[in-house]
Amino acid sequence: MADAPGSGRVFERLCVVGLGLIGASVALAARRGGGVGTIVAYDASAAVRARVVELGLADIVADTAAEAVAGCDHVVLCVPVGAIGAVAAEIAPHLAPGAVLSDVGSVKGAVVEAVTPHLPAGVAFVPAHPVAGTEFSGPDAGFAALFENRWCILTPCEASPEAAVAGVRALWEGFGARVDTMSPAHHDLVLAITSHVPHLIAYNIVGTAAHLETVTNSEVIKFSAGGFRDFTRIAASDPTMWRDVFLNNREAVLEMLGRFLEDLSALQRMVRFGDGDGLFELFTKTRAIRTSIVAVGQETAAADFGRRDAGQPVEASSSGGTGPRS
């Protein structure tokens, strides 16, 4: 970790492993923010590596993971949660003494379990989760402003040195993120209801609509107004990443899904028995929650939710190399 007086750098040599939406955005934010010196990139896909070179996302694009992490004082794993253990095992022998390892996974308990056994002596692990993203994937989808005013949650391990945690915090703050800390277990419970279950519901309702397409003579797609359209945006998220999220945070997801189903049953009874007052009270509460999210700057009331380039095609890149979004 860099500590040269007046250098303004948090880390001298940053390695980003996995150049999907998040990895590419990390590289771009690091280049713009000036919190690091050299930016090194690696992706398992040769096509992605070639595209990273074309886009100029990094100073060095390595051909192997071992080459990429060698000599780096900070390595960020931006790979799907299901692959993170194997990647950690691959790079572990090549990590520099004193290096700080981190990640961007949407699940933290499983990540800690997968990475910790491979940590060499003298290497600190500070798990992180930037709660930011879009439904697009691949290196072309990245942009430096992705993390501005978004939360990045750190879930330090018991053995994480304070200096390493401070360094990771400073890096994300340099990207414009707001940083908080919590335990891995608490993180997984909170994100199960704020992110994971909403994605599960979106995938399910869009799947149901797909089954109805033949029954309705394709009118589901034709007349997809705001509600269904917004579900499809979430359901367009990277399949590999979200498969791994649900498999690796299943206990918290199932607990929150159980609560959701109980509340859904209550709502079903209100509709069945014509409980207008109950429906109005519920909808008033939920509307206030949306207003409060906009008020604290975690969303915008602008048309199309202020999405960057709302006309961008769903598949921003046909290449691989994806990373977790939210």
CA atoms within 13 A on the CB side of 34: 3
**Domain range holding 63?**
1-326
Q: How many domains does the chain have?
A: 1
The per-residue pLDDT for 69 is 98
The per-residue pLDDT for 145 is 94
| CATH code, domain carrying 206 | 3.40.50.720
The per-residue pLDDT for 6 is 40
The per-residue pLDDT for 323 is 36
pTM for this entry: 0.80
Q: Where are the alpha helices (DSSP H) in 135-249?
A: 162-174, 184-191, 197-212, 219-222, 226-235, 239-248
The per-residue pLDDT for 100 is 98
Nearest to 161 by CA among 109, 102, 107, 76: 102
Residues of the chain with pLDDT below 50 are: 2-6, 303-326
CA atoms within 13 A on the CB side of 82: 11
For 257, other C-beta atoms within 10 Å of its C-beta total: 17
pLDDT in tens, 298-314: 666 654 444 444 334 33
pLDDT in tens, 268-281: 999 999 999 999 99
Please answer whether residues 103 and 83 qualify as being in contact, where contact means their C-beta atoms are separated by less than 8 angstroms.
Answer: no
SS3 category, 262 = helix
